[in-house]
Structure formats: C-alpha cells, structure tokens
C-alpha cells in the first residue's frame, strides 16, 4: 500500500500545481468599457491662454497641473491614471485657438477617452 501511495504522489503534486496555475494569467472576460453616456467628467482640461498650455485636473481636484497641450493624453494616462473610457470635459474661451482645442480633443478620443455629451 505504501508503494502505491508513493508512486501516486508525484502525479498528485503535478495535478495540484496545474490546478493552482489555472487561475493565473489574463481573464477570459476582460473589463468592458461602458457605452452609456457619462454624467460627470473624470478629468477636466482647461486651456490656459497666459501660458499657452493646458491645465489638467481630476474632477475631484480643486487645482490642476500645467502641462503642454501635446502632453495631455500621456499625463492623464500615466500620471493621473485615468482609465480608458473615462469621460473628459474641455474648457476653453472664445479666444482659444480652435485648431489646438480640436487637436487635444482628437488626441483624447484617439486614446479611448469620451467627451461629455
């Protein structure tokens, strides 16, 4: 009897290891991005006429960070860690360069962020 158990032990150990590793790796059901319209922006981009840059802030922050307008997406993604699919709001005055606003908005949409309706 002891001989049978000792010969089955390596098989049992291997099967246990495979069973435990089965939970590792990527999920078969990745998280989905909501297609419902957002009611609140996760991040706010304000064009700063004085410095010719952009102020980027989480909606929960009172003040934002000054970044170059071409660095808005990397800042939101890497520094603020706003998830893809989150909503954004753009605030600009009537004297803000429309081409710059359009470029920042296109960059945000291209990165997977959604504008408020």
pLDDT at 41: 87
Threshold 0.75, pTM exceeds: no
Question: Does 66 fall in a domain?
Answer: yes
Neighbours of 101 (CB within 10 A): 17
Please provide the distance, in angstroms rounded to a whole number, between the alpha carbons at the two ends of the chain.
73
Q: Tell me how many domains the chain contains.
A: 1
Yes or no: say if 47 and 96 are a contact pair by the CB < 8 Å rule: yes
Domain that holds residue 101: 43-115
- CA distance to 27, 31, 74, per residue, from 59 (Å): 30, 23, 17
Query: pLDDT tens-digit profile of 9-47?
Result: 565 555 555 444 455 554 454 444 445 555 688 999 999
Structure tokens at 43: 């991040």
Query: pLDDT tens-digit profile of 83-103?
Result: 999 999 999 988 899 999 999
Q: Look over the chain and give the mean of its residue pLDDT values, rounded to a whole number.
A: 79
> β-pairing, 87-91 with 43-48?
parallel
Question: Does 48 fall in a domain?
Answer: yes
User: What DSSP string describes 18-31?
Assistant: HHHHTT-SS-SSPP
Question: Does 61 fall in a domain?
Answer: yes
> What φ, ψ does residue 65 adopt, rounded to 5°?
-110, 135
Question: Does 47 fall in a domain?
Answer: yes
């Amino acid at each position: 009897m002891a001989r049978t158990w000792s010969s089955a032990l390596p098989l049992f150990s291997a099967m246990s290891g495979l069973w435990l590793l089965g939970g590792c790796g990527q999920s078969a059901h990745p998280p989905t991005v909501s297609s419902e319209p957002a009611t609140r922006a996760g991040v706010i981009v304000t064009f700063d006429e004085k410095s010719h840059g952009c102020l980027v802030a989480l909606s929960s922050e009172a003040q934002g960070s000054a970044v170059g307008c071409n660095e808005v997406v990397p800042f939101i993604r890497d520094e603020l860690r706003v998830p893809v699919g989150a909503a954004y709001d753009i605030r600009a005055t009537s004297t803000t360069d429309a081409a710059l606003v359009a470029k920042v908005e296109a960059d945000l949409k291209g990165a997977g962020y959604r504008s408020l309706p």
